[in-house]
Amino acid sequence: MDPDRVVADDVESNAPAPAQGTTPAISRPNDSSEGGKAKQAFFRMMSEWFLEFVRTNPAAQQPPPPQVPIVPQIRKYGAEEFRATADDDAERAEFWLENTIRVFDEMSLTPDECIKCAVSLLSDSTFNWWKTLISVVPRERITWDFFQVEFRKKHINQ
């Protein structure tokens, strides 16, 4: 006897047996539209169950809110790209940094989000400067405050 083979006599079922002389009912939908409706009904039922569970069990962990990509949002708030040129003046760089800080404060970004967004606004030689700088600095020192200090050193307090 094959040990991997299930023997029907060893398995109990709670499904009602078909009446004698009838054919068993097929529980699967016959076409795809019925299958689609059944799937929608199932998901709706599960969603309702989950919402009821969360409402009656306040200790249940809530799913996190959907994440909205931050980088595209910062431009809507007025953040602009920074591209250093040979004739740049410190005032222009100072204005960019202050405007960027204002946008990030308005959006209530975390320090980690601030640095990510600020770097996304750097272009050309300024972006290359930043990549070079962080390649020689220990990762734990790279913070939003570090970015501001180094940006000021490079572009404002020359």
Of 125 and 25, the one with more pLDDT: 125
Is 56 inside a domain boundary? Answer: yes
What pLDDT, in 10s, does the model give residues 64-114? 666 666 777 888 888 888 888 777 778 888 999 999 999 999 998 999 999
Instruction: Name 83's bridge partners.
Output: 123
Query: What percent of the chain stands above pLDDT 70?
Result: 70
CA dist 121 → 3, 38, 60 (Å)? 65, 48, 39
Instruction: Name 123's bridge partners.
Output: 83
Is 16 inside a domain boundary? Answer: no
Q: Closest by alpha carbon to 148, among 114, 105, 121, 124?
A: 114
Residues 130, 107, single domain; the answer is yes
Is 25 inside a domain boundary? Answer: no
Q: What is the extent of the structural domain holding 38?
A: 31-62
Of 32 and 78, the one with more pLDDT: 78
Helix axes 111-120, 144-151, angle to 10 degrees: 40
Residues 37, 112, single domain; the answer is no
Q: How many domains does the chain have?
A: 2
Residues 55, 104, single domain; the answer is no
pLDDT at res. 141: 93
pLDDT at res. 5: 54
Of 131 and 88, the one with more pLDDT: 131
Of 25 and 144, the one with more pLDDT: 144
Average pLDDT for 110-127: 91
Of 62, 85, 106, the position where a domain reaches its end is 62
Residues 90, 39, single domain; the answer is no
93 CB neighbour count, 10 Å cutoff: 20
CA distance linking residue 146 with residue 111, whole number of Å: 11
The whole-model pTM stands at: 0.56
